[in-house]
Amino acid sequence: MCKEVNRRNRLPVDDYVQGVLKRNRAIFAQTITLVESNSSADMETAQAVLKQLHPYTGKSIRIGITGVPGVGKSTFIEGFGSLLCERGHRVAVLAIDPSSTITRGSILGDKTRMENLSKNPNAFIRPSASGGMLGGVARKTRETIFVCEAAGFDVILVETVGVGQSEVTVRSMVDFFLLLQITGAGDELQGMKKGVMELVDAILINKADGVNKQKALIAQSEYNGILHYLQPATKGWETKAYTCSSLTGEGLDEVWSMIQLFHKKTNESGVFSKRRQKQNLDWLHYMVEDYLRMNFYTHPKVTKVLPQIEQAVTEGTLSATMAANELVRNRNQ
């Protein structure tokens, strides 16, 4: 029933394209709903829309933001996004929330978030797409980025939490990746995963205010000490630690200056466009693999024998390799 209602509301492809390009807010939001839809008819329309929007995409800086719940991501985005809007930028905030695919609950979306920014006419906030695997959510977010860019958003913030593969996924679609941290009882470095530190372009120690300010400065120099020995995420850019208070706004300006410097440097060196090219190529391969996987597992010759073969592997009467060979042989017969 839901699908029928959706279909009745669908527009011709050109109406979506023109609406997005003319920055019609209602049509823009409807286009994102279309891109997020799982119905095959919608997917086809969405691809036709995206094809026409393609020449208008790419002109933004895409910034990923990660950090554990409570670190202050929403407060940071509220303050940082508002500052950018004041400076004349148009800011889109998207999210990748793996919890919405695993538990159907949501780590990022349950509270009222970014109240001021959500009212700003130059900002757009979209909660994480849900349903399906992380790969499906990632595809929707990537395509939503394109729609936002075509609608003139020049700063795209993609927020996530460090659950499973979500940080790697966000890294694969952004130009700059920011890790938010807070100071603990002196042991803040212990729980820190080296892997994440090597994915990010900056570590931002939030809540550097009041009695916490001094501790944040100490943590900053500790992080810098460690970062010095790690592989930087971006060629020609040194990942460093910074401090800010998202609550008072102190340090947010410096964060933007730092990101602008990153943008300038990586543009000049060619690293910026090389990364985007590589991201597109990786994505192409991922999509092909995804298509092949789907095509394989939904093929009648496979679905017919799969339960028995899985059973045999579970019971140990057939090795996984032999089972795979048999499935492929069946599919190709």
User: What residues line the site for ligand GDP (CB under 6 A)?
Assistant: 67, 69-75, 206-207, 209, 245-247
- Cβ nearer to ligand GDP, comparing 209 with 222: 209
Residue 256 CB, nearest approach to ligand GDP (Å): 16
Residue by residue, DSSP assigns 197-214 as: HTT-SEEEE----TTHHH
Extract the tokens encoding 128.
């994480």
Residue 84 CB, nearest approach to ligand GDP (Å): 17
- Cβ nearer to ligand GDP, comparing 28 with 177: 177
- Cβ nearer to ligand GDP, comparing 70 with 307: 70
Residue 297 CB, nearest approach to ligand GDP (Å): 37
Tell me which amino acid residue 53 is: L
In terms of DSSP bridges, do strands 176-181 and 240-243 run parallel, antiparallel, or are they unpaired?
Answer: unpaired
- Please check whether residue 182 is in contact with residue 224, taking contact to mean a CB–CB distance below 8 angstroms: no
In 3D, which of 83, 99, 100, 101 has the Cα closest to residue 91?
83
Give me the helices (H) in the chain, please: 2-8, 13-21, 25-36, 40-53, 73-86, 99-102, 115-119, 134-150, 166-171, 194-197, 212-227, 252-269, 271-297, 300-315, 320-332
Residue 148 CB, nearest approach to ligand GDP (Å): 21
- Cβ nearer to ligand GDP, comparing 110 with 310: 110
Extract the tokens encoding 84.
């950018």
User: What is the CB neighbour count within 10 angstroms for residue 134?
Assistant: 19
Residue 8 CB, nearest approach to ligand GDP (Å): 37
Which single residue brings its beta carbon nearest to ligand GDP? 72
- Cβ nearer to ligand GDP, comparing 35 with 157: 157
Residue 195 CB, nearest approach to ligand GDP (Å): 20
- Cβ nearer to ligand GDP, comparing 73 with 215: 73
User: What is the CB neighbour count within 10 angstroms for residue 191?
Assistant: 9
